[in-house]
Amino acid sequence: MSSFTDFFPAAGGGGGIPKYQEFTSSGTFTPTQALIDAGGRMGLLVVGGGGGGITVTYTSFGAGGGEVLMKYATLTNTNNITVTIGAGGTKGSVGTDGGNTTFAASSAGGVDAVAQGGGGGNNGNLAGFPKNDTNVGAGFGGMYTSTGGSAAGSGVMGYGVGGGARQSSGSTDAANQAYGNGGSWNGNGVEGFVRVTWFE
């Protein structure tokens, strides 16, 4: 069975200092030499952008939440890493998909991590929910029809929650503003997120 220090060797000697960096917009992560000297191991939380909700009333679906990835990466050098944050989808008669979020670790000897954006909300009278079956993300959007509704998917640790749906005309239900959440009825999706954690 693996131990914590197998993943973060610097933590085992008592001198490892925990570090983290968060990205809510696209940018660059620069590994330190101390990180590489400590084994280059880091933890990643990567969240895709949530899909945009639908503006059509009745029999409609909320949008899907962005995919939530929790994984490790091992770097071998201090080359810059490009971080691309997926945009939230926009609401519409058919909501647009959220954008993919990418942590391009391959530039520093690791493996890229890509979290897909959530699918946009769709009208229940149209074929194809989710709108893009390969781009659903963590939480499914809620559904509302003449016979009742279903809850949206819960996502992971509050990230990537699916958007709710409303039947009644004129009501709005904006997405909970956690990263990667899908747009509710008449709401836009929320942008993605990246957190990098390491010891040095």
Please choose, from the candidates 112, 117, 88, 119, the residue with its C-alpha nearest in 3D space to the C-alpha of residue 100. Answer: 117
Mean pLDDT of the chain: 79
| Under 8 Å between Cβ of 63 and 192 | no
Comparing 11-25, 95-109, 132-146, which segment has the lowest mean pLDDT? 132-146
Domain contains 108 = yes
Spell out the alpha helix ranges (H) of 56-173: none
**Count of domains forming the chain:** 1
Q: pLDDT-based confidence at 58, cuts 50/70/90?
A: low
Domain contains 62 = yes
Domain contains 7 = no
Domain contains 1 = no
| Alpha-carbon gap, residue 157 to 29, rounded angstroms | 24
Q: Which domain holds residue 127?
A: 21-200
Helix (H, G, I), strand (E, B) or coil at 74: strand
| Under 8 Å between Cβ of 158 and 152 | no
pLDDT at 4 over 80: no
Domain contains 11 = no
| Alpha-carbon gap, residue 123 to 95, rounded angstroms | 9
User: How does strand 101-103 pair with strand 193-199?
Assistant: unpaired
Domain contains 13 = no
Comparing 59-63, 82-86, 136-140, 192-196, which segment has the lowest mean pLDDT? 136-140
Domain contains 8 = no
CA distances to 89, 127, 151 from 144, rounded to whole Å, are 20, 15, 9
pLDDT given at position 157: 84
* Residue 157 φ/ψ region, left for φ over 0, alpha for ψ in the -120 to 50 degree band, beta for the rest: left
pLDDT at 9 over 60: no
| Alpha-carbon gap, residue 34 to 119, rounded angstroms | 40
Q: pTM of the predicted model, to two decimals?
A: 0.83
| Under 8 Å between Cβ of 56 and 128 | no
Q: When comparing pLDDT for 187 and 145, which is higher? A: 187
Domain contains 94 = yes
* Amino acid symbol at 117: G
pLDDT given at position 100: 94
